[in-house]
Amino acid sequence: MKTGHDDRILIINAEVDGRGGTTSVRTNGDRIVAIGPELSRAPGEYVVDARGGMLLPGLHDHHIHLLALAAAHGSVLCGPPAVHRRDELAAALHRAAAAVAPGGWVRGVGYHDSVAGPLTRDDLDTMVADVPVRVQHRSGALWMLNSAAIAAAGLEDHAGAAVSAPPGAGRGPAGRPDGRLFRLDDWLRERLPPAPAPDLSAVGRQLAAFGVIGVTDATAGTGPAEAELLAAAVIRGDLPQRLTLTGGPELAPPEHPRIRLGPVKIVIDEGEPVEFDTLVATVRAARTAGRAVAVHCVTRAALVLILAVLETAGGEAAGHPSHPGDRVEHGAVIPPDLVDQLVERGLTVVTQPHFITERGDEYLNEVDGEDLPWLYRCAGLRRAGAAVAAGTDAPFGDPDPWRSMRAAVTRRTAAGNLIGPDEAVGPAAALALYLGDPARPGGPARRVIPGAPADLCLLAEPGPAALRTLSADLVTLTIAAGRIIADNR
C-alpha cells in the first residue's frame, strides 16, 4: 500500500461527476492538483486503475462518538439486533463475567427496554451477582449497575447502607440505590478501575474501510483530556480521518492540520429540569468564541425550547447574531408546524435515518401515532429548504454510513414496515447526506475538482450501479489528506 503525506497519486479510468470511466485525477500532498481525460504518469507517481469505478469525495460522518465506539469494541452487546430477550441478555453477561479478570468489570452496551424492561440492580443481580456489571442504554444517557458495581462505585458502604450520591443516581424503596445512573459518565469513570486508553486504531480502520475520511465527534462531554486523547490518535495515525470536535465553549482548538473545532454541543434531555437562562448563556458563550451550537434534540418539546433559546440568544439586542453553522442533532421528531422556523433560522438538521431500520419496529409500538410520519425526516425538510445531513451516532447506531443511506431511501424497518414514506429520498440525495463540508453539513456536496482536498473514496462500480446498491462492499480505496488509508482492491 502506498502511503505518506507527500505521496503523489494518479488515479486513472475513473468516473467523476458522471463523466465516463476514462477520467484521471492527480493528487500531490493533500490536494487534488489536476483532472483530465487521460493524464500521463509522472515520475514517482503511484498509479491506481479505477477500472471505470465511481470516484467520490470521501464520506464525512457528521455525528459520531469516537471514544464510546472504541470502548464498544470490547463490550457486550445487550440489545437488538444481537439480544432480544431477557434470557439472551443473562447468558451474554454471564459469559462475559466468567472471562473477566479479577477486579475487572463487565461493560454492556446497546440495551433497550424491549429486552427486559427498565433494568435495576435487582434485575442485573439475577444475571450476574459476583462481578461488577454496568450496562449502557442505547441512548447513551443511562448506565445500569448491579449490586457488585454499586458497591465498587461507592454508592453503598460495606454494610449496604446508601451513601451520598450525585443528582442523576436513582433511588428505590427506602432510598436504596437502584443502580440507574443518568448522565453520570464522568462520575462513574472516576470510580472505575484503571484501564488503558481506548484503542482508536480499530475504529480508524473500520471507518476507512467504509470510505470515511472525516468525522465530527459529537460528544457533549469532550473536554481537554478527551480532546488530547483524540488528537494523540490523529497524530499517531491510529485515526487517519480528519476530525471535527464539538464539546464545550471553553475547549481550546487543537494544533493539527487535520483537527478543527466545530460547534458547541448542548444536550436537552427529555423529562430533565431545564434552565432557560443557562441555555441562553451557553449559546452566547459559543457566539463569543466564534462557534456555532449543535443541540441534541429528540422531542417536539426540546425543539420548541431550542428555537426559543436561539431566538433569545441571537437577537440583535443581545449583541450575538445567529451563527450560520447552528445545528439540530437528531431531529428525531420535527412536525410540520416547526419546519418554517428551522428554515428561517438557517438551522441544519443532522439526522440518523438508519434508526428507522434499526429501531423502527419498536417506534411503531412506543411512539405516538401523530409523530410517526415526522421521525428522522429527510425529504420533507429538504423540500422546505432546510439543510439536512446525516451521521451514524455510532456506537449508538450502526457505524456503516452506507446502511444509513439505504435507510434514507427505503424508510423500512427491520421487519419491512414503512415509516414516513414521504420522507424517503433518492440514492444520490442519500449519498449527499455524507458529502457535505464538515463546517456546513447539509450544504453543497464536496466535489472532486482541482484545488480540493485529496479526500477520496473509490467504488468498484460506476455511478448508476453504485447508487442502486449503496453498499460499503463497493469501497475499494480511501484516501484522506493525500494518504491511502484503506485499500480493499
Is 270 a residue whose pLDDT tops 90? no
Q: What is the mean pLDDT of residues 261-267?
A: 94
Q: Rounded CA gap, 446 and 15, in Å?
A: 16
What percentage of the chain carries pLDDT values higher than 70?
95
Long-range CB pairs of 31-36 (<8 Å, 24+ gap) are: 31/451, 31/452, 31/453, 31/454, 31/482, 32/448, 32/449, 32/450, 32/451, 32/452, 32/453, 32/454, 32/456, 33/450, 33/451, 34/450, 35/448, 35/449, 35/450
1-58+447-489 belongs to which CATH class? Answer: mainly beta
Q: What is the mean pLDDT of residues 398-420?
A: 97
Q: Provide the pLDDT confidence category of residue 382 given band limits of 50, 70 and 90.
A: very high
Question: Where does CATH 3.10.310.70 sit in the chain?
Answer: 74-189
Amino acid at 118: P
Torsions phi, psi for 275 (to 5 deg)? -100, 105
Q: Provide the pLDDT confidence category of residue 309 given band limits of 50, 70 and 90.
A: very high
Q: Provide the pLDDT confidence category of residue 4 given band limits of 50, 70 and 90.
A: very low
Residue 145 cell numbers, joined: 449497575
Question: Where does CATH 3.20.20.140 sit in the chain?
Answer: 61-65+200-445
- Average pLDDT in the chain: 92
Q: Which CATH number fits domain 61-65+200-445: 3.40.50.1470, 3.20.20.140, 3.40.630.30, 3.40.30.10?
A: 3.20.20.140
Residue 359 and residue 397 in contact, taking contact as beta carbons nearer than 8 Å: no
Cα-Cα-Cα-Cα dihedral sign, residues 393, 399, 401, 407: negative
Q: Which CATH number fits domain 74-189: 3.30.50.10, 3.30.420.10, 1.20.1090.10, 3.10.310.70?
A: 3.10.310.70
Question: Where does CATH 2.30.40.10 sit in the chain?
Answer: 1-58+447-489
**What are the tens digits of pLDDT across the range 331-359?**
999 999 999 999 999 999 999 999 999 99
